[in-house]
Amino acid sequence: MDPSGLAGSSSSVVDLPNQGLNSRPGRGAGARARHGCPRGSGASAAAAGPRGRSTLYGPEAAAAYDQGVRILIVEDEPAIADFLERGLRAEGYAVSSVHDGIEATRRAMADDVNLIILDLLLPGRDGLSVLREVRGGKPALPVIILTARDQVHDRVAGLDAGATDYLVKPFAFDELAARVRAHLRTQRQADSTTLEAAGIRIDLLRREVEREGTSVALSAKEFDLLCYFLRHPNQALSRQQILSGVWGYDFDPGTNLVEVYVGYLRRKLGQAGGSAPIETLRSVGYRLRA
Ligand code: CA
């Protein structure tokens, strides 16, 4: 087998990276702008599909569904990681990648990701060990193992450790993409189309917000931020978590973006009745009191 794990014998199978890194995998014409409501990694979201699949669910659902589905790639082979990143971005997902097991565990637990693609043989920490820890904290998070280990006992070990799915390298990108869609679809079917907490109700399909029955008009980013708070009621949320979950920043851009938008939200929610239930936690961040 090609050491990259990418070589394949049929035209439907990925034959990168040697000559193919300039040709993007997948069918997409480019990543789509993210402007949906950020999804939690577990039990909540709106009700349609990722780019290209949303017509299955009707135009209204498509308009509302969060295209900001976040996928974390854990892969230490740079060519494969790059290939996956570009292919999944072309499918419309927000993608990030890490290259060792320790960082993978940290990101999987701390970040608001919707699906993980996990290699097994990794520096720092083995993929199965990463998986077990992630499973302990996030039982519903879809995790697809993507590995060169192709024996039956490997597959059994992976699935028993909590993998949602198991795909062997070399792999066909279209199959991986289809499995990603399938697992996101399954997750989504359990999801709700409304969020409610602290007297605030968000209709994700209509992108409408009410507080104590009074309509609140929000900008797109204010709406995203409020969704994020309602998905994490009573949790202390750091500015970095909010920047990552709402704006997609994996770094602190050194601005007061979060402060400014929390200010907007408080003012608009306040106009609909009483002070807004978003507390400032000094030196930490914010919390929605519900
Ligand atoms: Ca590896």
Is residue 160's pLDDT more than 80?
Answer: yes
- The per-residue pLDDT for 189 is 60
For 85-136, the pLDDT digits (tens) are 999 999 999 999 999 999 999 999 988 899 999 999 999 999 999 999 998 8
Cα–Cα distance between 285 and 87 in angstroms, integer? Answer: 35
Q: How far is the CA of 83 from the centre of ligand 1 (A)?
A: 14
Q: Are 156 and 188 in contact (CB under 8 A)?
A: no
Q: How far is the CA of 78 from the centre of ligand 1 (A)?
A: 10
**DSSP string of 148-214, one letter each residue:** S--SHHHHHHHHHTT-SEEEESS--HHHHHHHHHHHHHHHHHT--SEEEETTEEEETTTTEEEETTE
Cα-Cα-Cα-Cα torsion 216, 217, 219, 225, nearest 10 degrees, comes to 10
CB within 5 A of ion ligand 1: which residues?
76, 119, 121
Q: Which residues contact 249 (CB under 8 A, 6 or more apart)?
A: 243
Q: How far is the CA of 46 from the centre of ligand 1 (A)?
A: 34
Q: Long-range contact list for 268-277, CB < 8 A, 24+ apart?
A: 268/216, 268/217, 268/218, 268/222, 269/200, 269/211, 269/216, 269/226, 271/216, 272/210, 272/211, 272/212, 272/214, 272/215, 272/216, 273/199, 273/211, 273/212, 273/214, 277/198, 277/199, 277/200
Domains of the chain: 3-189 (3.40.50.2300), 192-288 (1.10.10.10)
137: which 2 tokens?
A: 């904290």
- Classify strands 143-147 and 115-118 as parallel, antiparallel or unpaired: parallel
Q: How far is the CA of 18 from the centre of ligand 1 (A)?
A: 18
Is residue 272's pLDDT more than 90?
Answer: no
- The per-residue pLDDT for 162 is 86
- Tell me what the mean pLDDT of segment 60-86 comes to: 78
Q: How far is the CA of 121 from the centre of ligand 1 (A)?
A: 4
Instruction: Please state the pTM of the whole predicted model.
Output: 0.52
Mean pLDDT check: name the lowest of 8-17, 52-61, 137-146, 183-192: 52-61
Give a three-class secondary structure readout of 78-130: HHHHHHHHHHHHHCCCEEEEECCHHHHHHHHHHCCCCEEEECCCCCCCCHHHH
Q: What amino acid is encoded at 78 in this protein?
A: P
